[in-house]
């Protein structure tokens, strides 16, 4: 008799990622937010409700939103940063999940490299964990954007960065956190793990 396949919902996958990231110190307090694309036409996304401790997430802690960030299902309110998620989905057709973390190493590097415009990483085998990267000789640029509480304006800046930097796998808000994405929750999760490993390597190499 064939075994039954258990389907895992996007909210369950995101909750599991949130608990793991919290355990590893990448979304402490109530920081970070996670989303998955449900449908593109019309645009519908599943996103974490605001103000939740990510180490205790479960599938009930997510909202379904439309393309105007209006809540269609769920309880709570969406983060103001939801506008950034929606912008990335609109302009990166292959993005189906977006994860946002706040790590110590990434925050330090985003400040250190801000004047250069990006965190540049090259020559590491772990780069091959990023989608489409086939060799350690790859150079990955993570553009750094000045943080702002004006999320409408910030979303417009993110749109410009995405348009002007085809092939990037993430964006860093200075002194704030990393946004990365993937064609699935698992791919986006892998990208977070790759970036966080490389940020720590770079930070230790620079002897911060």
Could you read off the pLDDT of 157-201 as tens digits, one per residue? 999 999 999 999 999 999 999 999 999 999 999 999 999 999 999
The range of the structural domain enclosing residue 155 comes to 10-205
In a domain, 18, yes or no: yes
Position of tokens 């749109």?
159
In a domain, 178, yes or no: yes
Our count of domains for the chain comes to 1
In a domain, 1, yes or no: no
In a domain, 39, yes or no: yes
Could you read off the pLDDT of 140-159 as tens digits, one per residue? 999 999 999 999 999 999 99
């Amino acid at each position: 008799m064939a075994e039954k396949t258990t389907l895992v919902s996007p909210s369950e996958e995101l909750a599991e990622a949130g608990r793991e990231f919290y355990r590893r110190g990448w979304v402490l307090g109530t920081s970070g937010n996670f989303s998955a694309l449900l449908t593109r036409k019309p645009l519908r996304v599943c996103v974490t409700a605001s103000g939740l401790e990510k180490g205790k997430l479960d599938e009930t802690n997510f909202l379904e939103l439309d393309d105007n960030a209006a809540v269609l299902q769920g309880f709570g309110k969406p983060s103001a940063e939801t506008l950034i998620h929606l912008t990335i989905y609109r302009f990166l057709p292959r993005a189906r999940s977006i994860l946002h973390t706040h790590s110590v190493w990434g925050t330090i590097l985003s400040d250190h490299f801000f004047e250069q415009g990006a965190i540049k990483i090259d020559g590491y085998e772990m780069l091959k964990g990023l989608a489409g990267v086939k060799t350690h000789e790859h150079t990955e640029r993570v553009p750094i954007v000045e943080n702002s509480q004006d999320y409408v304006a910030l979303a417009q800046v993110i749109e410009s960065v995405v348009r002007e930097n085809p092939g990037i796998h993430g964006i860093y808000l200075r002194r704030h956190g990393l946004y990365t994405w993937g064609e699935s929750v698992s791919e986006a999760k892998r990208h977070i793990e790759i970036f966080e490993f490389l940020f720590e390597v770079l930070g230790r190499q620079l002897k911060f």
